[in-house]
């Protein structure tokens, strides 16, 4: 049967990686995205693949190991260009686009907003005056304060500063604690930062004032999904659909129902930072071992990144899928970390070193996702995750350097967003190059500065702005310094 080829760290694997990098680099690294398709098997498995063709009753598709072929009789259908895997928390499963009641819905918006934010800055004196006038509690004065803070929050959001945006909403809520627009916007910002419990507090308050709001139900579903409370997520999204049908909610609901069904027979385990689900047939000993391993990694990453995730992290063990090291696999059946860590474990009774590495890699994604409030670009996510699991560039340095010197290196700017449409071999190159950059950063500046860079990424308008202010380097400079570092360290 087809499954992603094992990527255990064998010599054959290293050799294969080098070969692939060579091919990619000789080809000049084309970043043109390839469309990924999904082959759905009759047994329900889904295989993400590129270049899928059907011929003579057989379905074949591209993998790193070459072209694989399946008998057409086991294939249910092929979904063309569908959503695909990514080994990164950057692609959250339940993120929903949101159209909230526009800020302008607040009475007298325009005039007050213009006075509160002008000449590219917030007029704090003006807002202070409005607050002074609102102390008496007159309704009109209180609304003006809400409008002013709403405008200021939007301004901060435009600069990518969710911290200050949230501060404005919280301040506005002290004057107008039951204003649904303020409550929904505050809840939404917390969701964007993966702060699900905080978000639910505001949603509960919003529900008390607006019990029939579809937006409240939509966001509450997202929060519960993030907290791994599937039953409540499904309930909220169903409610949202009854109140106001919405295609985005329909998609999220369908996914949550699929997960719910798949996990209905799962058992649960829990430790201080994790909620673990696994199929009943898994050895409970394995589940305990996985939790112990995760807790060890949690403590290590917590101190390296100087950060503690606020929410428990969901982990799902798939006992029907054979374990393979897929942290660098560009195509896999499901997401490895789409907000929850999903790990295939068939046939294991304890945690082998390869699985331990995979867990540390995926757990790092969860930390970074929360530390950067979901704003970390993929290259930095994957670079840090690989570094944390213990990968170094010794095997790939010469190819990365030669690509750079022949001006065939992929610019970091092209590696910020989802890699899921990259052809497999280009993604492998992207992993190697990302690791090189992070390794250079840690070797030169130390973990403390890297960790502070992640904090900057959370608040600066772009990652390149964060490297400029934190490291005094733009992307081209960072690429050049990385190539120099790799040459100096590995190619003497
Ligand atoms: Zn990863």
CA of 362 from ligand 1 middle (Å) equals 6
CA of 471 from ligand 1 middle (Å) equals 24
Q: Is residue 430 part of a domain?
A: yes
The pLDDT confidence band at residue 178, using thresholds 50, 70 and 90, is confident
CA of 368 from ligand 1 middle (Å) equals 11
Q: Which has the closest alpha carbon to 259: 227, 234, 284?
A: 234
Q: Which two tokens stand for residue 449?
A: 């500065």
Same-domain status, 251 and 273: no
Is the pTM higher than 0.85?
no
CA of 361 from ligand 1 middle (Å) equals 6
The protein residues having their C-beta less than 5 angstroms from ligand 1 (an ion) are 87, 382, 385
User: Which of 5-19, 78-92, 186-200 shows the lowest mean pLDDT across its residues?
Assistant: 78-92
Give the pLDDT score at 31.
Answer: 42
Last residue of a domain, one of 262, 284, 301: 262
Same-domain status, 285 and 144: no
CA of 442 from ligand 1 middle (Å) equals 18
Query: Percentage of the chain with pLDDT > 90?
Result: 37
CA of 205 from ligand 1 middle (Å) equals 37
CA of 370 from ligand 1 middle (Å) equals 15
Give the pLDDT score at 333.
Answer: 40
Q: Is residue 290 part of a domain?
A: yes
CA of 432 from ligand 1 middle (Å) equals 12
Same-domain status, 223 and 120: yes
Same-domain status, 189 and 274: no
Give the pLDDT score at 486.
Answer: 97
Give the pLDDT score at 342.
Answer: 83
Q: What is the mean pLDDT of the chain?
A: 80
CA of 240 from ligand 1 middle (Å) equals 33
CA of 129 from ligand 1 middle (Å) equals 49
Same-domain status, 272 and 149: no
Last residue of a domain, one of 346, 367, 388: 367
Sequence length of the chain is 492
Give the pLDDT score at 16.
Answer: 64
Q: Is residue 65 part of a domain?
A: no
Report the pLDDT averaged over residues 2-29. 54
Q: Which two tokens stand for residue 6?
A: 């094992």
CA of 87 from ligand 1 middle (Å) equals 5
Report the pLDDT averaged over residues 444-460. 93
As a three-state string, the secondary structure of the chain is CCCCCCCCCCHHHHHHHHHHHHHHHHCCCCCCCCCEEEEEECCCCEEEEEEEEEECCEEEEEECCEEEEEEHHHEEEEECCCCCCCCCCCCCCCCCCCCCCCHHHCCCHHHHHHHHEECCEECHHHHHHHHHHHCCCCHHHHHHHHHHHHHHHHHHHHCCCHHHHHHHHHHHHHHCCCCHHHHHHHHHHHHHCCCHHHHHHHHHHHHHHCCCCHHHHHHHHHHHHHCCCHHHHHHHHHHHHHHCCCHHHHHHHHHHHHHHHHCCCEEEEECCCEEEEEECCCCHHHHHHHHHHHHHHHHHHHHHHCCCCCCCEEEEEEEEEECCCCCCCCCCCCCCECCEEEEEEECCCCCCHHHHHHHHHHHHHHHHHHHCCCCCCHHHHHHHHHHHCCCCCCCCHHHHHHHHHCCCCCCHHHHCCCCCCCCHHHHHHHHHHHHHHHHHHHHHHCHHHHHHHHHHHHHCCCHHHHHHHHHCCCHHHHHHHHHHHHHHHHCC
Same-domain status, 275 and 385: no
CA of 485 from ligand 1 middle (Å) equals 23
CA of 366 from ligand 1 middle (Å) equals 10
Report the pLDDT averaged over residues 121-125. 91
pLDDT digits (tens, 9 = 90+) for 397-426: 999 999 999 998 999 999 998 887 777 778
Same-domain status, 317 and 225: no
Last residue of a domain, one of 310, 338, 367: 367
Same-domain status, 256 and 162: yes
Task: Residue 468: give the domain boundaries.
Answer: 378-490
Q: Is residue 419 part of a domain?
A: yes
CA of 470 from ligand 1 middle (Å) equals 24
Same-domain status, 165 and 255: yes
Give the pLDDT score at 36.
Answer: 56
Same-domain status, 447 and 361: no
User: Which of 61-75, 91-105, 469-483 shows the lowest mean pLDDT across its residues?
Assistant: 91-105
pLDDT digits (tens, 9 = 90+) for 305-328: 999 998 889 888 877 766 665 555
pLDDT at 478 over 90: yes
The pLDDT confidence band at residue 47, using thresholds 50, 70 and 90, is low
CA of 430 from ligand 1 middle (Å) equals 11
CA of 438 from ligand 1 middle (Å) equals 13
Count of domains observed in the chain: 3
User: Which of 33-47, 358-372, 472-486 shows the lowest mean pLDDT across its residues?
Assistant: 33-47
Same-domain status, 400 and 432: yes
pLDDT digits (tens, 9 = 90+) for 238-290: 999 999 998 889 988 988 888 777 666 667 777 889 988 876 665 678 888 99
Give the pLDDT score at 28.
Answer: 56
What CATH number does the domain containing 175 carry?
1.25.40.10
CA of 81 from ligand 1 middle (Å) equals 22
Q: Torsion-angle region of residue 151: left (phi > 0), alpha (psi -120 to 50) or beta?
A: alpha
Same-domain status, 155 and 197: yes
């Amino acid at each position: 049967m087809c499954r992603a080829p094992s990527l255990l760290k064998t010599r054959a694997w290293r050799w294969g990686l080098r070969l692939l990098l060579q091919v990619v680099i000789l080809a000049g690294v084309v970043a043109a995205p390839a469309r990924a398709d999904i082959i759905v098997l009759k047994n329900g498995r889904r295989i993400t693949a590129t270049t899928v063709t059907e011929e003579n009753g057989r379905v074949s598709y591209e993998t790193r190991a070459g072209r694989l072929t399946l008998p057409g009789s086991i294939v249910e259908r092929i979904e063309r260009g569908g959503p695909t895997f990514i080994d990164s928390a950057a692609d959250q499963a339940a993120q929903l686009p949101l159209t909230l009641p526009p800020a302008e819905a607040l009475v007298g918006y325009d005039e007050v907003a213009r006075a509160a934010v002008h000449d590219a800055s917030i007029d704090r004196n003006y807002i202070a005056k409005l607050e002074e006038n609102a102390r008496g509690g007159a309704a009109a004065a209180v609304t003006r304060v809400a409008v002013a803070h709403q405008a200021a929050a939007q301004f901060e959001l435009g600069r990518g500063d969710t911290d200050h945006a949230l501060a404005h909403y919280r301040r506005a809520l002290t004057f107008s604690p039951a204003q649904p627009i303020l409550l929904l916007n505050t809840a939404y910002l917390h969701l964007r930062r993966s702060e699900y419990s905080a978000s639910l507090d505001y949603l509960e308050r919003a529900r008390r004032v607006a019990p029939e709001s579809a937006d409240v139900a939509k966001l509450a579903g997202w929060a519960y999904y993030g907290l791994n409370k599937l039953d409540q997520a499904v309930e909220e999204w169903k409610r949202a659909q009854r109140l106001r049908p919405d295609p985005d909610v329909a998609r999220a609901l369908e996914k949550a129902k699929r997960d719910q069904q798949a996990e209905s027979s799962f058992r649960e385990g829990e430790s201080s930072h994790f909620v673990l689900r696994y199929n009943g047939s898994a050895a409970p000993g394995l589940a305990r071992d996985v939790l112990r391993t995760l807790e060890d990694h949690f403590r290590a990453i917590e101190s390296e990144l100087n950060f503690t995730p606020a929410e428990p992290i969901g982990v799902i063990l798939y006992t029907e899928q054979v374990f393979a090291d897929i942290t660098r696999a560009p195509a896999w059946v499901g997401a490895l970390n789409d907000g929850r860590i999903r790990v295939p474990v068939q046939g294991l009774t304890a945690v082998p070193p390869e699985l331990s590495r995979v867990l540390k890699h995926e757990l790092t994604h969860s930390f970074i996702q929360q530390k950067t409030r979901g704003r970390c670009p993929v290259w930095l996510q994957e670079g840090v995750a690989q570094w944390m699991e213990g990968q170094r560039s010794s095997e790939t340095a010469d190819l990365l350097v030669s690509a750079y010197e022949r001006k065939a290196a992929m610019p970091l700017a092209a590696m910020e967003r989802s890699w899921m449409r990259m052809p497999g071999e280009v993604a492998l190159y992207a992993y190697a190059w990302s690791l090189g950059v992070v390794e250079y950063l840690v070797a030169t500046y130390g973990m403390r500065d890297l960790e502070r860079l992640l904090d900057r990424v959370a608040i600066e308008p772009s990652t390149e702005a964060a490297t400029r202010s934190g490291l005094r380097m733009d992307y081209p400079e960072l690429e050049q310094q990385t190539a120099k570092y790799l040459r100096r360290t590995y190619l003497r």
